[in-house]
Chains A and B, each alone.
Chain A
């Protein structure tokens, strides 16, 4: 009986079997890349907002503290979004005729709230508490990026679990003095020494157990 397959088939099959490992690895690598990519994480995406609010102008330009608007950041899991009344504290006096602010005035007059699009979004099975991070010396900019340079707010960090753990595993690389938490422009002078010192001083734990965030 004649041979059905040519001798070269042996080589082809060997290459295919050997190569499949690399192909499978490549596919996994691509998937790994996609889930970390801004395409999946929504990193760097600005969203349509009722008012094109500029943090750059209000924070860097005017020097307003984060907590003027995000009032509950030190007390609650939620940092808080300012009620329309907070906007009107100033905008009842300045830019009272600006077209851009019409939705704000309408909201204040009618009592119907402004509807913002969420920029930083965690899945519903993740619990994040702003107040404890602030209390332990994690700066706003560590997660939110240089908000003071954002004309329109976007998500600066990928907010993946891997990214969260990079700090939860090694907080000494990110902790800063409590006084500098709200300082957008803080640059550590000597993190190698200050980091471990602050971790000890603030009694920071390396919390990587599941129920720290998932429950």
Chain B
């Protein structure tokens, strides 16, 4: 293949006649250079490796006998009568429970200590699905991928199940007995007792810790959260003179400037922020007069940057220069501003000045405190503080500089001052900064106890390990991003003998017999002693929100700009350390759903890679010749990453829009004590990879003076042919870039020509003559049974690519994970994929996210090719997939132009593990080997709503059916409803001029359609 013209965009543009083009990967861009037929065949063959031989290596005689033996045994079994099934009713049925119907309970999940309110669906006492709580300020009904996947975390069979003492199975009462000498010793001299926690916002736990501190005045409480937000806290302290919390109101902001902040994709309140931000970005005909504008200056691809109207990719160390330049532009006394992009910044500053009190500038968590202080000063100058930026009391029980807190602990441990260390949650042995040598210091402590969900790296080093309860198993409380309290209520008794932090604290304090429920309730009863506490408490539990958020403080930020720090020497590549977008800091490493979730930008699954820009890749020698050896983005080079005398071997990944000279790696992978999934056992079939463990541990190069990275890294290519499970080019729509799959325009262009989408597709090629009359969906008889025409509209303007919908779908529809090997073979089972398209030059392209579920075509190409009619149309226009009829020919998948069908090449679903059986949605069949499956529009929810409506003799109301993906979406990008109802939201959206379907020229008449992406670039800035 002629890859010498790699990245030759000009030639590519010329070839396709300068048309607007969108592309998904650099290889695709390069491939667009003329290929002859043989080459095209080769590409197409590689494109569909899932059609390749299922066994990578041949089957030897022994395995053949084994497989055949098993088949014979099963064949024998099939002839016998079905085994008897048991029904086990209650002895006393709980009040309010209707067998077979789910109940919903409000609770809250914390991440980094901050709560997101959720409603947990419970089937006969088993939580099966997490949904957002519409009444909770951080959720408003939305959820992210972590929250959705937490239900799998609950049932994870690898969770720690027993108390362990020195690795041996022990008991809780032994732990209580064993801790007494340590406590008594601490009582005597007072100073030897140390508590290490993660960030805690729970008022009850905070009070318990304070009580313990009062009992042992010499005791110290340390906090450490690897996804560290010290910079944010310190920046606020510099600006406001003390620890505070800032809450943003993006719904009032016309202009938003993000300085390396992913406020739409991660961090406290990001779901709410995404909802608020995108509420100003929906373009509706005749209603939308103006939309907001986002400028992003960032050091790596983020969800926020991907929806920005203007984006600069710069080195992280340069961000401060930009912050200073903006501040200087606004008249603040800021020295040391950058001189680059002066015109760009001047325009941005003008835009901010035009929107005083209606703009927000946010800084990223990883940026140094000075940048945060500058940003607060900018917001103050612009009059945003107290309008779009609200200042409230800190939400943490005890805000602290966690890095210094941990450093203090390590120093004391090394000095032998620590006699007893109690660790509540967290995994510091794995995730503390490398230079602290935490495990080395911890080994010097004579008494070490660790409470955690897994028997992990830290537990191995602890004398006592206590299994922790999952948030769905125990009572607690926590604060949301704006400070409002939620009571965390359990849905199930602890599955694995877990203990909650409240119980451990109770033991330390001495109130042994108090359950977590009593602890939490008593705290709030003393906090809010009213006559009607009982009814208040019930309301809190019902609503999932206790009281209201703390009132804003109405203080001003200091407009003093900190002096620029002395320029550090910066040679070599700048390394950026980020938490992983799918497994966070490593705590979700054993969650198969999250491991297999394609990362929003790279679409890599099951591991981490070094992300570099195309230019940097060429610089380090990964030029055209080297890229030739990559097979269609399915393999890559291994590189050696050197940093401060340590080396790591990782795969490399070239990311368009990545800043040059920067190496981004995510930490959290490489868990040696993470469990079976983290340990690589989910590779089911065979494992041709170097790593037994999923991914590479990056914490060894995370140092306390450069938590988020610094300059001075080296990188060298090692070897090619490293197989990487990247879904970027899987399920490819042929020649998607030029077929109007993604359509976009600026708001200006849209106003001039609202129906621009008609001009960017090939719809006119559609041939509509047909000999077949087609299905009838209209309600012809007003007194007859209700007829529906279900449809979906997806707004690509507001999709941030957050992946919440993908996991929501996986959870709702019992979708199996397949393991890295099978993902590499393009056999991932996600019913909903998010395609990511680029437009423009690979240096800094525009990014678009497009969720692609089944299109539910009215003229579905999959249907006529099925030899057994396993896929057929129903009366509402749904394209049904009948698993029990499917014989696995895969013709339907071949004939699907959208490539949304998924085939069970193996027995992917786990039918053995008892815990996972309890997790499944009982309303959806668990599929076996040899069966095709695909998005059903959540037909189980449709049927449930239809049955409820029929019983009341009414139509299903608009909004009465919410699909799982729609429910999870923070930006309400996905809307589902009935086309027969002209007033339904989906009908209205389909009448928008920006509405278009994918490949409509094929006359498939897709029911899922899209709204074109409208961006709002500043006309004063010409795209470079």
Residues of B within 8 A of A136 (CB): 950
Which residues of B sit under 8 angstroms from A212, Cβ to Cβ? 874, 943
Interface string of A65-102 (1 = CB under 8 A from B): 00000011001111011111100000000000000000
Interface assignment of A116: CB less than 8 Å from any CB of chain B: yes
Binds B, one of A25-33, A55-63, A184-192, A200-208: A200-208
- Residue of A71, A84, A113, A214 contacting most chain B CB atoms (<10 Å): A214
Let me know if A131 is at the binding interface, CB within 8 A. yes
State the Cβ distance, A76 to closest chain B Cβ, in Å.
4
Interface segment out of the listed A6-14, A15-23, A117-125, A142-150: A117-125
Q: Does B92 contact A (CB under 8 A)?
A: yes
8 Å CB contact of A72 from B90, B99, B873: B99
Q: How far is the CB of B100 from chain A (nearest CB, A)?
A: 3
Are B100 and A77 within 8 A (Cβ)?
yes
Q: Are A113 and B950 in contact (CB under 8 A)?
A: no
Enumerate chain A residues within 8 angstroms of B940, measured Cβ to Cβ: 127, 215
From known contacts A72-B100, A209-B874, A212-B874, infer whether A113 and B925 are also in contact, taking CB-CB under 8 Å: no
- Rank and list the top 5 A-B pairs by shortest CB-CB distance, nearest first: A78-B100, A209-B874, A76-B100, A83-B90, A81-B89
Tell which of B91, B872, B880 touches A84, judged by Cβ atoms closer than 8 Å.
Answer: B91
Q: How far is the CA of A57 from the CA of B882 in the complex (A)?
A: 42
User: With A111-B91, A124-B926 in contact, do A209 and B873 touch (Cβ < 8 Å)?
Assistant: yes
Q: In the assembly, what is the distance between CA of A85 and CA of B925, in Å?
A: 32
Q: Is B884 an interface residue (CB 8 A)?
A: yes
Listed A/B pairs (21) with beta-carbon separation below 8 Å: A75-B101, A77-B101, A78-B99, A80-B98, A85-B90, A85-B92, A107-B91, A112-B91, A114-B89, A114-B91, A115-B87, A116-B89, A118-B84, A118-B87, A129-B947, A132-B950, A211-B882, A211-B936, A214-B883, A215-B924, A215-B936
- How would residues 895 to 919 of chain B score, 1 for a CB under 8 Å from any chain A CB and 0 otherwise? 0000000000000000000000000
Asked if A214 and B947 sit within 8 Å, CB to CB, the answer is: no
Within 8 A of B (CB), among A130-154: 131-132, 135-136
Query: Are the CB atoms of B947 and A117 closer together than 8 Å?
Result: no
Task: Assess whether A210 is in contact with B872, with CB atoms less than 8 Å apart.
Answer: yes
A84 touches B89 (CB 8 A): yes
Q: How far is the CB of A52 from chain B (nearest CB, A)?
A: 16
Q: A108, A118, A203: which contacts B953 (Cβ < 8 A)?
A: A203
B875 interface residue (CB < 8 Å to A): yes
Q: Which residues of B contact A (CB under 8 A)?
A: 81-82, 84-93, 98-101, 783-786, 872-875, 878, 880-885, 923-926, 936, 939-940, 943, 947, 950-951, 953
* Closest residue of B by beta carbon distance from A85: B92
Q: Nearest A residue to B784 by beta-carbon distance?
A: A203
B932 to chain A, nearest CB (A): 13
Q: Which residues of B contact A207 (CB under 8 A)?
A: 875
Q: Which A residues touch B882, using CB under 8 A? A: 210-211, 214
Q: Identify the closest chain B residue to A108 (Cβ).
A: B91
Residues of B within 8 A of A121 (CB): 82, 85
Return the contact of B925 from the options A78, A115, A214 (Cβ within 8 A).
Answer: A214
Please, which residue of chain A has its CB at the minimum distance from the CB of B946? A132
A-B contact sample (9 more), CB < 8 A, given A85-B91, A203-B786, A215-B924: A72-B100, A80-B89, A107-B91, A108-B91, A111-B92, A115-B86, A118-B87, A131-B947, A211-B939
In the bound complex, what is the Cα–Cα distance between A112 and B89 (angstroms)? 10
> Of all chain B residues, which has the CB nearest A203?
B785
A197 on the B face (CB < 8 A): no
Q: Let me know if A117 and B84 touch, CB within 8 A.
A: yes
Q: Given the complex, which residues of A lie within 8 Å of B924, measured CB to CB?
A: 215
A203 to B787, CA, bound (A): 11
The reply to whether A123 and B884 contact each other, CB–CB distance below 8 Å, is yes
How near does chain B come to A212, taking the closest CB pair, in angstroms? 7
Chain A interface size, under 10 / 10 to 19 / 20 to 34 / 35 or more:
35 or more
Cα A136 to Cα B953 with chains together (Å): 10
* Distance from B779 Cβ to chain A, minimum over Cβ atoms (Å): 12
* CB contact under 8 A between A76 and B101, given known A113-B88, A204-B785, A211-B943: yes
- Using Cβ atoms and an 8 Å threshold, which residues of chain B touch A71? 98
Q: Is A132 within 8 A of B85, CB to CB?
A: no
Residues of A contacting B936 in the complex (Cβ-Cβ under 8 angstroms): 211, 215
Contact B93–A83 (Cβ < 8 Å): yes
A214 to B886 alpha-carbon distance, docked (Å): 12
A47 sits at the interface (CB 8 A): yes
A136 to B951, CA, bound (A): 8
Q: How far is the CA of A154 from the CA of B93 in the complex (A)?
A: 25
Least CB separation from B787: chain A residue: A205
Chain A residues lying within 8 Å of B89, measured Cβ to Cβ, are 80-84, 113-114, 116
Judge whether A215 and B951 touch: CB under 8 Å.
no
Specify which chain B residues have a CB less than 8 angstroms from the CB of A82 in the assembled complex: 89
A42 close to B (CB within 8 Å):
yes
Which residue of chain A has the shortest Cβ distance to B926 in the bound complex?
A: A124
Instruction: Give the shortest distance, in Å, between A158 (CB) and chain B (any CB).
Output: 14
B101 touches A127 (CB 8 A): no
Residues of B contacting A124 in the complex (Cβ-Cβ under 8 angstroms): 925-926
Q: Please, how many angstroms separate the alpha-carbon atoms of A69 and B881 in the complex? A: 36
- Closest Cβ–Cβ distance, residue A102 to chain B (whole Å): 15
Chain B contacts of A116 at CB under 8 A?
A: 86-89
Residues of B within 8 A of A135 (CB): 950-951
B82 and A42 form a contact (CB under 8 A): yes
Measured CB to CB, the closest approach of chain A to B345, in angstroms, equals: 55
User: In the complex, what distance in Å separates the CA atom of A107 from the CA atom of B875?
Assistant: 47
Task: State A215–B924 Cα separation when bound (angstroms).
Answer: 6
- CA distance in complex: A84, B89 (Å): 8
CB-CB under 8 A from A78, the residues of chain B are: 99-100
| Alpha-carbon gap, A32 to B173, bound state (A) | 63
Q: Note all chain A residues with C-beta closer than 8 A to B874.
A: 209-212
Nearest-CB residue, chain B, relative to A121: B85
Inter-subunit contact A203/B84 (CB<8 Å): no
| CA distance in complex: A84, B534 (Å) | 31
Report Cα–Cα, A107/B940, bound state, in Å: 35
CB pair B85 A118 closer than 8 Å: yes
Tell me the smallest distance from the CB of A49 to a CB of chain B, in Å: 10
Q: Which residue of A lies closest to B88 (CB)?
A: A113
Docked-complex contact B950 and A214, CB < 8 angstroms:
no
Chain A: CB-nearest residue to B878:
A211
User: A125's contact among B784, B925, B950, by CB below 8 Å, is which?
Assistant: B925
CA distance A78 to B923 in the complex (A): 12
- Asked whether, in the complex, the Cβ of A80 is within 8 Å of the Cβ of B87, the reply is no
| The one of A72, A113, A204, A210 that contacts B880, using a Cβ cutoff of 8 Å | A210
C-alpha spacing A131/B950, complex, angstroms: 10
Alpha-carbon distance between A51 and B665 when the two chains are bound, in angstroms = 64
A85 to B81, CA, bound (A): 33
The residues of B that contact A115 with a CB separation of less than 8 Å are 86-88
**A118 → B minimal CB distance (Å):** 4
Q: How far is the CA of A162 from the CA of B294 in the complex (A)?
A: 60
Please give, as numbers and ranges, the residues of chain A lying within 8 Å of B943 by CB-CB distance. 127, 129, 211-212, 215
Cα A69 to Cα B784 in complex, Å, equals 34
A14 to chain B, nearest CB (A): 33
* Complex contacts, A47 vs chain B, CB 8 Å: 84
Smallest Cβ distance from B217 to chain A, in angstroms? 47
Most buried by A among B100, B784, B786, B878: B100
A111 proximity list for chain B (CB < 8 A): 91-92
When distances are taken between beta carbons in the complex, the residues of chain A under 8 Å from B950 are: 132, 135-136, 203
- Shortest C-beta distance, B780 to chain A (Å), equals 13
Query: A81, B785: Cβ atoms under 8 Å?
Result: no
The docked-state distance in angstroms from the alpha carbon of A44 to that of B98 is: 29
Cross-chain contact of B99 among A76, A127, A203, A211 (Cβ < 8 A): A76
- The answer to whether A80 touches B100, judged by C-beta atoms less than 8 angstroms apart, is yes
The complex places the Cα of A77 from the Cα of B946 at a distance, in Å, of 13
Bound complex: CA of A205 vs CA of B781, how far in Å? 13
- Distance (Å) between the CB of A111 and the closest chain B CB? 5
* Whole-angstrom distance between the Cβ of B870 and the nearest chain A Cβ: 8
Task: Give chain B residues whose Cβ lies under 8 Å from the Cβ of A85.
Answer: 90-93
A128→B830 CA distance, assembly (Å):
27
> Is A205 in contact with B85, judged by CB distance below 8 angstroms?
no
* Distance to closest chain B CB from A7 (angstroms): 44
Tell me the smallest distance from the CB of A35 to a CB of chain B, in Å: 12
